């Protein structure tokens, strides 16, 4: 009988600053890949970017899909070289994320473009239903063919106050699908929306030279993209190959997300501490 690999251990970290949870996964013996799971009020979910992820030591995953105001725990399963699964790790300590004010919006393919949207209007959700009425001959009663109640559609209006905000909004909304996470106090669900028609107009009445804009979006609720769709295309080995010291990393990358997004070779030769802990970057670099 083949002995299964040992279970990994999971430690979530949320410091109340960035809109995501850092999850540090320490592989068990013989773990070559791991899959990370989150359990919240809506059930068990695979963490995006952490499906059979290759690991050679402690690894950090960023979970940006945690609903605000809900308690979440994490578990992980390790796999050996032939795909034998370990037992599930014990549930982690519970984590509760929350924010006030504006919703946080993410593009699942590039989470470094996350924005807080200053919502001017989002007051209605419309739930449609596919239905057809048939009127048979010789029958006084019509026959209704009724489909499943559809997921909601809505319209949102967002205010930007600067040219930089407007440019970031245009960049983010190039994605066809975004995750919108409102504060728990709003009562709206945290979910993915398809961005339909997008309109942009100057704020009226015009206030001097203020570059305020109003963006209006047609939203349709959709299923989340596959959990393997993510912008994290680099491994820890890529970082080690590109940089010699922590000073090199810090000199070129202002944040952990920016490091994950692009890992080009650096030209810095400043002395510094050697890169010896794969999960330490989350501690040494400022988060946005």
Q: What is the pLDDT along the chain (288 residues), one digit of tens a residue?
A: 478 899 999 999 887 777 888 899 999 999 999 999 999 988 999 998 899 998 888 888 889 899 888 899 999 999 999 999 999 999 999 999 888 888 999 888 777 778 899 998 888 888 887 788 889 898 888 988 887 878 889 999 999 988 888 998 998 888 889 999 998 888 888 899 999 889 998 877 666 667 889 999 999 999 888 876 665 545 566 677 778 877 888 787 776 656 655 554 433 323 333 333 333 333 323 333
Does residue 15 share a domain with residue 92?
A: yes
How many Cβ atoms from other residues are within 10 Å of residue 187's Cβ? Answer: 7
pLDDT at residue 283 in the model: 30
H or E segment and range at residue 261:
helix 256-261
* 140 in a structural domain: no
Which of 173, 76, 77, 182 is CA-nearest to residue 122? Answer: 182
H or E segment and range at residue 24:
strand 21-26
255-286 burial, b at 16+ Cβ within 10 Å, e below that, comes to: ebbebbbebeebeeeeeeeebeebbebbeebe
* 145 in a structural domain: no
* 267 in a structural domain: yes
Q: How far apart are CA 106 and CA 146, in angstroms?
A: 35
Using CB atoms within 10 Å of the CB of residue 83, give its burial: 0 to 12 exposed, 13 to 18 middle, 19+ buried. Answer: exposed
Q: How far apart are CA 14 and CA 120, in angstroms?
A: 29
Range of the domain at 75: 9-96
Does residue 270 share a domain with residue 170?
A: no
* 194 in a structural domain: yes
* 120 in a structural domain: yes
> How many Cα atoms are found within 13 Å in the side-chain-facing hemisphere of 39?
11
* 190 in a structural domain: yes
Task: Report yes or no: 62 and 15 within 8 Å, Cβ to Cβ.
Answer: no
Can you give the CATH number for the domain in which 39 is found? 2.60.40.10
Does residue 76 share a domain with residue 13?
A: yes
Does residue 119 share a domain with residue 66?
A: no
Q: How far apart are CA 62 and CA 25, in angstroms?
A: 11
* 139 in a structural domain: no
Structural domain count, the chain: 3
User: Which is it for strands 71-79 and 95-96: parallel, antiparallel or unpaired?
Assistant: antiparallel
Does residue 117 share a domain with residue 212?
A: yes
């Amino acid at each position: 009988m083949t002995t299964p690999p040992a279970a990994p251990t999971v430690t979530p970290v949320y410091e109340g600053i960035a809109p995501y949870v850092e999850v540090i996964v320490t592989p068990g013996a013989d773990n070559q890949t791991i899959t990370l799971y989150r359990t919240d009020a809506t059930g068990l979910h695979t963490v995006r970017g952490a499906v059979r992820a290759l690991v050679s030591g402690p690894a950090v995953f960023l979970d940006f899909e945690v609903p605000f105001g809900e308690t979440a725990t994490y578990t992980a399963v390790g796999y050996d070289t032939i795909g034998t699964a370990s037992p599930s790790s014990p549930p982690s300590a519970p984590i509760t994320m929350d924010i006030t004010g504006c919703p946080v919006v993410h593009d699942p393919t590039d989470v470094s473009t996350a924005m807080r949207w200053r919502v001017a209007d989002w007051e209605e959700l419309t739930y449609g239903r596919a239905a057809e009425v048939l009127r048979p001959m010789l029958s006084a009663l019509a026959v209704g063919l009724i489909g499943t109640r559809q997921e909601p559609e809505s319209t949102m209006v967002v205010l930007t106050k600067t040219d930089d905000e407007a440019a970031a909004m245009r960049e983010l909304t190039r994605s066809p699908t975004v995750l919108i996470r409102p504060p728990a106090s709003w009562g709206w669900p945290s979910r993915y929306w398809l961005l339909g028609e997008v309109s942009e107009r100057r704020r009226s009445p015009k206030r001097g030279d203020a570059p305020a804009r109003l963006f209006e979006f047609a939203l349709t609720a959709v299923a989340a993209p596959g959990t393997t769709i993510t912008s994290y295309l680099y491994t820890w080995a890529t970082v080690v190959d590109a940089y010699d010291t922590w000073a090199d990393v810090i000199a070129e990358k202002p944040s952990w997300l920016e490091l994950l997004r692009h890992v080009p070779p650096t030209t810095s030769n400043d002395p510094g501490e050697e890169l010896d802990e794969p999960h330490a970057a989350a501690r040494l670099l400022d988060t946005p």
